[in-house]
């Protein structure tokens, strides 16, 4: 519901559905876009570090997996850049003492919870031994909040505090360079009057 207006829909670029039987762990990494992550079932435990942590350096054990796989077979199926040399369960502080000085936060997401993970924030995600289902939406931040779209939707009789848009009702693929068309979403929820939903495209 927090993304119903303001221009967020027009800058959505992709969505990913995650499902697992449990006991999964991510690597420490950072996303190149803003992220909204929502849980449908199960639980996920997170550790987050702010973007100014400078984790992406050799003193933290950071490596580029695509380059490292040519030297280390453990990176055969890896992609992107991340802290592949770090054992999150037992960080070697003698080898990488800088980890002991970092600010960090933790959070737990359960079914029905959503969280905003800012662009370039480093994070690690772990799921307990149970089924989990979640989805995340990547989007590009705008220069300002477009309140005109909020007034336009409210003017049509919609309640901004409810979920008005389904992911299946949106086009996808907006690019950061702005050369691609804005994402368009259809407001699927009927008006209180019973009138049908209308097509809607937030201004970029």
* pLDDT for the residue 154: 87
Query: Rounded to 5, what percent of the chain is helix, strand, coil?
Result: 15, 30, 55
Task: Tell me which residue range forms the domain holding 124.
Answer: 9-55+102-200
For residue 25, give the CATH number of its domain: 2.60.120.10
* pLDDT for the residue 177: 61
Tens of pLDDT, residues 71-114: 887 776 666 667 667 888 899 999 999 999 999 999 999 999 99
* pLDDT for the residue 116: 96
In a domain, 110, yes or no: yes
In a domain, 139, yes or no: yes
In a domain, 94, yes or no: no
In a domain, 62, yes or no: no
Low-confidence ranges of the chain (pLDDT < 50): 193-194, 196-204
What residues form DSSP beta bridges with 16? 136
Cβ partners under 8 Å of residue 164, min gap 6:
1, 4, 153, 158, 187, 188, 189
In a domain, 118, yes or no: yes
How far apart (Å, rounded) are the C-alpha atoms in residues 22 and 99? 27
pTM of the shown model: 0.81
* pLDDT for the residue 152: 87
* pLDDT for the residue 203: 35
First to last CA, the chain: 18
The length of the chain in residues reads 204
Domains: count for the chain:
1
């Amino acid at each position: 519901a927090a993304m119903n207006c303001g221009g967020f829909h027009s800058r959505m670029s992709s969505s990913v559905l995650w499902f697992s039987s449990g006991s999964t762990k991510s690597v420490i990494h950072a996303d190149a876009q803003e992220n909204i992550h929502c849980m449908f079932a199960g639980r996920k435990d997170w550790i987050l570090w702010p973007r100014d942590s400078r984790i992406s350096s050799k003193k933290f054990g950071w490596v580029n997996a695509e380059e490292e796989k040519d030297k280390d077979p453990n990176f055969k199926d890896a992609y992107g850049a991340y802290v592949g040399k770090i054992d999150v369960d037992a960080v070697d502080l003698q080898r990488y003492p800088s980890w002991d000085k970092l600010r960090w936060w933790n959070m737990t997401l359960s079914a029905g919870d959503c969280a905003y993970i800012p662009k370039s924030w480093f994070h690690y995600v772990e799921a307990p031994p149970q089924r989990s289902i979640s989805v995340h939406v990547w989007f590009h931040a705008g220069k300002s909040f477009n309140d005109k779209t909020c007034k336009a939707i409210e003017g049509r009789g919609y309640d901004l505090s409810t979920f008005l848009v389904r992911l299946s009702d949106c086009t996808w693929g907006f690019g950061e360079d702005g050369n691609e068309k804005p994402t368009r979403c259809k407001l699927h929820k009927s008006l209180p009057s019973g009138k049908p939903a209308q097509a809607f495209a937030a201004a970029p």
